[in-house]
Structure 1
């Protein structure tokens, strides 16, 4: 009886996994890191191992000078974010997307494929951004390895794997569009900061960068909540996940803002 039950459970797991593989967007199945969740899970596990082992390996070593790498990396991310912002904007505008309710166009039309491709690039950019954490570790900036940082970087790769796998386009375009714009500003800030003290003394606007990040989460929350309760042909399951996730980021970033700019300011006055 136990053996039969175990077989049944295993068969259910296999069926569930097969459904994950086969019920996705056929247009994106052959794209890098899309068809199966296994590769992105492996990347995530490696990411966690690096976070755990990295600081221990660097404990008795001097911080590594990554200035040239950081300058190139941050300004390359500015270029990539600018490209994605343009592609999200152009694709949605030319296809006549609605800001209130936009179903996914699963056709092979040029505009539908253009939107799907920029969604993939956005997803892949989240994999690239895991490098932010590695740079912190190599520079011994372990105070930057906060729960907010690890949670945000680690979960975005899964959110957008699901996005590209099942809903490459539709109303999720707005998340990519807004986030790409915010990341143009964010990586520009970090790129300028990497140039050194001669430039960093002019970067007084970090507080407003955090405010901009919070504004994007509020915008996504309102937009997703509207679509969740409206009669819109977009998966409610996806809307529910995005809504819960954006609310969690509002809480975490608000907490960061409060402790970084309000509590710290009160202590210094």
Structure 2
């Protein structure tokens, strides 16, 4: 048992100190994983236990003004991250096939404006689930929804903690671009509920999400396939199965929602 404990402590020190990027360690929630993990556990307890219990004897809240403001803030935040990511990296000197970890003159600026801002946005995304519960739409708090939100917070934290720049950050640009489209759609449905009945919007938003995960999957496969790429391959070994899983989940949702014909009664 003592050997296992010593090994666990050594691994924790290695991950939390030795390979962590020293430029970001004093940023809020970055020093150790425990505060962020505590917040995520609080999120799970809130959306699955405490808030549903609270809403069980109450009518649904009308949150349309709040959600409209939230969607606008998300659109602005994601647009800012996409712009900074392209201007400081992906339309400047970054390579799609193999981009080493960024240690150039704008690397700290990129880490703050792109990577850490993305982490903040992923935390803000958790409000989506809170809104579902407060509007008594618990059926929308699915495994896919919660898994995706929880996973993206973890991924964005890891980017800031270990590799705040370079190859892995392509997913930030792609994900934020997709979220701009998504939150524009959500904003439209807040203003005009007829958009909720439009299968064209829903169908194409889901298609864009599937394309996003597929491109990111290819992006990480290129990292593994490219010899002598000066970017650590370990993130690819995590992100390849993660994105493959997301492609499968979203394709399954797409098939059930838009392709499979309902069974006749």
Interval of TM-score (by shorter of Structure 1 and Structure 2)? over 0.9
**Conserved 8 A contact 1:25-1:106:** no
Residue 43 (structure 1) aligned to one of 16, 39, 42: 39
User: Structure 1 unaligned runs (5+)?
Assistant: none
Residue 210 (str. 1) matches residue 209 (str. 2): no
Q: What residue is the counterpart of 2:171 in the other structure? A: 175
TM (norm. structure 2) is 0.92
Contact 2:100–2:230 (CA<8 Å) still a contact in 1?
yes
**2:103 aligned with 1:106, yes or no?**
yes
- What TM-score, normalized by structure 1, do the two folds share? 0.91
Q: How far apart in 2 are the matches of 1:10 and 1:171? A: 34
Q: CA deviation at 1:199?
A: 5.8
Confirm or deny that 1:126 pairs with 2:122. Answer: yes
Match of 1:10 among 5, 9, 12: 5
How far apart in 2 are the matches of 1:183 and 1:169? 20
Residue 58 of structure 2 corresponds to 61
State the superposition RMSD in angstroms.
Answer: 1.8
Aligned in 2, Cα 1:246/1:93: closer, same or farther, shift over 3 Å?
A: closer
- Out of 238, 246, 258, the position equivalent to 1:261 is 258
Unpaired runs of at least 5, structure 2? none
Give the aligned length: 260
Partner of 1:241: 238
In structure 2, the CA distance between the partners of 1:56 and 1:128, relative to structure 1 (3 Å rule), is same
C-alpha distance in structure 2 between counterparts of 1:233 and 1:143, whole Å: 45
Please state if 1:88 is matched with 2:85.
yes
Q: 2: distance between equivalents of 1:203 and 1:75? A: 23
Contact 1:71 1:194 in 2 (8 A): yes
